[in-house]
A and B are shown apart, each in its own frame.
Chain A
Amino acid sequence: MKPEAPILQTHKLSIGYAGNTLFEDLNLELSSGTITCLLGLNGSGKSTLLRTLCGLQPAISGQIKLFDKPLRQYSPQALARTVGVVLTQKRYAADLRAYDLVALGRHPHTGFFGALKQADKDVIEQSLEAVGMTSSAARRLAEMSDGERQKIMIAKAIAQQCPIILLDEPTAFLDVISRIETMMLLRKLSREHRKTILLSTHDLEQAIRTVDSFWMLRRGSQAVCGTPEDLILGGAMASLFEKNGQTFDPLSEHRVIEEDARPVGVEGDPSIVIWVNNALIRSGRKPFPMAAAYPCINCISPSKFIITHPNGICRNVASVSELLTALQEAESQPMPQIQIQSQYA
């Protein structure tokens, strides 16, 4: 992608509420046609930043520029044609049909009584098509799944024809499939429709796979921006989580590993190893290459695992559940732990 002038830019931006500044001196940029993800701990002010950037909440100080023009100089109508939002909040009027809801996106473009011209109708059709919901146009919100409703809300933002779309937790409350679909849709919008997208999410794994860059926000320190890979390799991602006694392990499928995790050796069929690793991390252990100093697991088949303990005893188990029980039993017995610690201190 060619580097372009930033579409959205903040300069020394401070946000928050009267008497409660959440972030100070934010200097952030969004470039055209990219997806950016806001990363921060819960309650850190991600929603506040999104609200401030689309003019729903005044900034405490500093400047926001959209297309090189200060946000303050936009009329409500012009702003509504520049930035579209999709929120987590529930919508009322569940009897609205998908088409009518997407039609509301035409608001900033229609006249006094909001009559839809043919051009507006075309845009609505195209928006529904872009999110793959054309066949659902006549359905009511109440009849849809959370994932479908979210697509309709995104279609509304498309119908608004804004170059910038801000989404606050677009995948919250969605099932796994809808989460992936929503993120794929956003990626499609940025690639094919050249939309500039900024979203917040808790779905770190999906975000790492989808977005072009991260804005990492931490109270009391500067925002860190960059591609997911650079932030992981440079250790910034790990630092976001270090406070909670956890380390972020970039090598193990973007998972957060507890600091005092116990090493367990794993080898065997790669498709099984992935899930054994998952179970180990989840239960406070850390997958390692095979070694004699700690328990090791050979994954033969989904119903056959061989555990080799440091004392040389081998044991066969038939499921991951039995595997975890066996490991727990072995750990609760006195073991030559000193050796392990000296090796991995």
Chain B
Amino acid sequence: MPDVIAADGTVRNDNWVVVARPADGDSLDIPVGQPALIPVDLWLAGYEHFTGREDLGVWFDSHDEPELLGERVNELPLIAVNFPRFVDGRGYSIGRLLRERLGYQGELRAIGDVLLDQLQFMKRCGFDSYVLRADKDISKAGRCLNFFSQTYQAAADNDLPLFRRRAS
């Protein structure tokens, strides 16, 4: 049961579980009675079967392409993006594309090597929940999400860059 940080820094507990990609030849093992996130390509492959399920979401690895989901994106209650290593910045582009290009409205969660000092970037790229790596001090998340009260460029959290806000 992960502790989940919300974009405002508050912490809650939920029971979404991330189902790892099965090894070649193995079948996908979706737990019963617990909401689960499965690899995005497998959800698409089993779309006829999975569609409409409120207890099933997907997770992207950092090389997965958000464009794959197309218009189906808003059928999903929860999407997670894995940061395999915190220095792998592809997840930020995935977040923005899901929000700004595909218009995803549901919850977008950062999982994997999620550290305190990356939360601010994730928030700006459209993530609104974060599962911090277990060894990090979750009590500092709120502070690390809110170092800046002003930003120069547009992103998923604000489509107006500072120059347009300055002008208005």
Query: A and B bound?
Result: no
Q: Which residues of B contact A (CB under 8 A)?
A: none
